[in-house]
Amino acid sequence: MLLFDGGCGLCQRIVRILLRIDRGGRLRYAPLQGPAAQGFLRATGLPTEDFDSLVFVPDWHGREGNVYLLRTDGVIAALRTVAGVARVCAGLLAVFPSKWRDAGYRLVARWRYRIFGEWRARPLARAEWAARFME
């Protein structure tokens, strides 16, 4: 499960790219502002008002406990889950130390609304993709 800022234009565009390249339908998505993500954030003690951090939850149903990855570690894990060319991108990102990656992530997070704006709801390109989202 990939928890993302549902109001962010950049985040929504990235989710749509992931939907296109994830032909196996491995990833699921939930906006950080929605009830499913908010419940997870509360249960794990993560901030419920901080939408600057992507959260990847490899085992949403909790069989492995509340394991999650934040920021670029979450990005890399999500890309590895998608497979294909995304795995290559994950490998390239993983070469850099997490402190460097996360510094870049925070910089982009600070400017993303100014550059990409707020997301205006649009229909998904494929109706079947809707089943991969939780509110």
Per-residue pLDDT of the chain (135 residues; tens, 9 = 90+): 999 998 888 888 889 989 989 988 999 999 999 999 999 999 888 889 888 888 999 888 775 556 888 889 999 999 999 878 888 988 999 999 999 999 998 898 888 888 777 777 777 778 888 889 987
Cβ-contact 40, 62 below 8 angstroms: no
Residue 72's domain comprises 2-122
Cβ-contact 2, 28 below 8 angstroms: yes
In a domain, 89, yes or no: yes
In a domain, 132, yes or no: no
In a domain, 128, yes or no: no
pTM across the whole model: 0.86
**Exposure of 78 by Cβ count < 10 A (0-12 exposed, 13-18 middle, 19+ buried)?**
buried
In a domain, 30, yes or no: yes
